[in-house]
Structure 1
């Protein structure tokens, strides 16, 4: 195994548990194919562990283990098995959940989601990509009842790793649509054409929280995707739940899910959320609860200013549309945006529109998306629920 050396005084972050060795942290390059397993050492020669090396990426080495360890099928069986054991502990008896969450499960660049007997995987690093067959073999060992495996490798993260964008069924057979149960609802999703890996599993616990507050209320679910928050609200007794999304495919899927669960108090509409909220304001419409769950507004800190402006407009307009005593549910999956940033936006915008806010719930990503404390990059979802009153 080849050795790559870090520059002097660059190893502090790695010693504290971070798993990314940046290209600028290294004293030299190696002439090896992307994804090669290497040993990282300090400038003084002390071992920092082994990881996948990619000379094409800004993240030059993604560490896997403290000791020298081969990354074959047996390695993935062990790591994926450990990840699955944690999920059985924190979310027992669930049909849909994230089995592997990359760095948080010490498998940098690998995402695996489970929907009953079907698995979806994303390989976001060269090291994982070249070991696709090992990963498939490991999954079939850990999940012997698996009927099909889909790869959804369409993330732009792959292009930064020098990898092609590909998707499709890589093992077994997968129907056009599959069903699974979440929070008592039967959901139907498309694993091949749906966003991300088919469903946003990270909001599972937060959707249940919204359901507790929805009874008897009119609920507007913005950026609804396949209907998650609106469906949970409707099932919990909302007088009306309306979901909005810009994707026609998502709206069609959400409508099917409402029908599948016999929810007649739930409907979905294809629209631009920003435009629709402005229209509702002009029409003087008002809601008892508004859920804001937008996609990421910025992938890096350079785009942070624009992201904050987007969140400000979104929350400001929603606050204007809420009745006194209404509920604002607002979230951000934009990793560079902190909870403090989001709180600051709510503080300023509520004062601007003369609404008084009381924080009644603070959430995050579900426990199948654990946070590795040494890697703040693994914590991305901010979720806040406020009671809204006139100031």
Structure 2
């Protein structure tokens, strides 16, 4: 199959962005998802791409060459991506980060001997067999689970499903990072079973936690940050609105022999206001909220929400205390995130010192010319007065 694209579409690929939108496809094939050859209007060959006839993102670039794209092609590229992760000591990590690894719409995570993958475009779905064979060859997993339940698949005209594609994958897998154990849930947990993108940030704030101090972890979910804080803090307050999530967090604490975490079911906004009213202080605070801005239309309201929780966290941060704060909203870019934090610092009346800016863990690489890959922003801050 072949497609022709406009000059604007060709320019996007030339500038390093792998996507061409529906409006920049001049001539399409028979509306069948698959791998297509792309040409400009003058007939110049541009490359091979995944084609999704029902998506606004019509083409996702795979290769600028004309080579055969089969299971061997996919396995070679999965192996290359895996080798880039050499040195990761955690037992759960991302092997392929879609566009960040030049394998658009493909996510592959490794949980010990098991693999959880996502096929997020119609074009990729059409070559499911080749991709699965490639994963088996490159990674030799005991089982492969397809977590094809991401909302993005709806925009591709694809069904939502969770399917065992090879071997066996248990409901719960024990994983270890920086000496901390926790239970991932490949079949039912967030994303592919755990928030692997925050792994390095958990290490960072864990090692910055004041020995013998008091720590607060808001939006704790299964307690992954809280577990790291608890190794140095005297006491940790871990807060979430989900009783089920807190129960899993408590189970994770028991797995590590940790008994200094108090698990609280509460609304983070309400609790922060109450803690401020009571003039309580914490030496270490983590803010890891869900995405407040699901769409661009929600941006203003989302920024206001981020500012409120950060402002109140700054007010209850003890002198010399550390705050790690993050946003996983793609529409809240780094400039907006930084400006929001500066506004919160001014309104708090505190002197808030910048310590480090972070993003997703290194196995979730960002491409500078593909801003969509830079969804996670983090900031480590210190109160110096």
1:274 aligns with 2:269: yes
Contact 1:241 1:266 in 2 (8 A): yes
Question: Matched residues in 2 for 1:249 and 1:170: separation?
Answer: 28
Question: Matched residues in 2 for 1:264 and 1:327: separation?
Answer: 22
TM-score, normalised via structure 2 length: 0.95
1:259 to 254, 261, 264: 254
**Counterpart position of 1:72:** 70
TM-score, normalised via structure 1 length: 0.94
In structure 2, list runs of 5 or more residues that go unmatched: none
Deviations 1:194-250 (A, max 9, x none): 111111111111111111111222111111122111101112x11111221223332
Q: Secondary structure at the match of 1:60?
A: strand
1:370 aligns with 2:365: yes
Contact 2:216 2:285 in 1 (8 A): yes
Q: Secondary structure at the match of 1:257?
A: helix
2:183 to 178, 181, 188: 188
In the TM superposition, 1:164-313 aligns within 5 A as 164-214=159-209, 215-235=211-231, 237-313=232-308
Say which is worse superposed, 36-45 or 109-118, in terms of deviation. Answer: 36-45
- Cα distance, 1:169–1:283 mapped onto 2, change above 3 Å: farther
Say which is worse superposed, 39-48 or 258-267, in terms of deviation. Answer: 39-48
Give the ranges of 4+ consecutive aligned residues of structure 1 lying more than 6 Å apart after TM superposition. Answer: none
Say which is worse superposed, 127-136 or 377-386, in terms of deviation. Answer: 127-136
**Counterpart position of 1:19:** 18
Q: How far is 1:257 from its partner?
A: 0.9
Aligned Cα root-mean-square deviation (Å): 1.6
Deviations 1:145-191 (A, max 9, x none): x2221111111100011111111422212222111110111211221
**Counterpart position of 2:115:** 119
**Counterpart position of 1:162:** 157
Question: Matched residues in 2 for 1:241 and 1:113: separation?
Answer: 30
**Counterpart position of 1:110:** 106
Contact 2:70 2:130 in 1 (8 A): yes
Question: Matched residues in 1 for 2:164 and 2:262: separation?
Answer: 32
1:353 aligns with 2:353: no
Deviations 1:237-283 (A, max 9, x none): 11111221223332111111111111111232222222222232233
Q: How far is 1:372 from its partner?
A: 2.2
Question: Matched residues in 2 for 1:105 and 1:23: separation?
Answer: 23
In structure 1, list runs of 5 or more residues that go unmatched: none
Contact 1:15 1:48 in 2 (8 A): no
Q: Secondary structure at the match of 2:26?
A: coil
Deviations 1:25-56 (A, max 9, x none): 1113322312x211111222222211111120
Question: Matched residues in 2 for 1:10 and 1:61: separation?
Answer: 10
**Counterpart position of 1:134:** 130
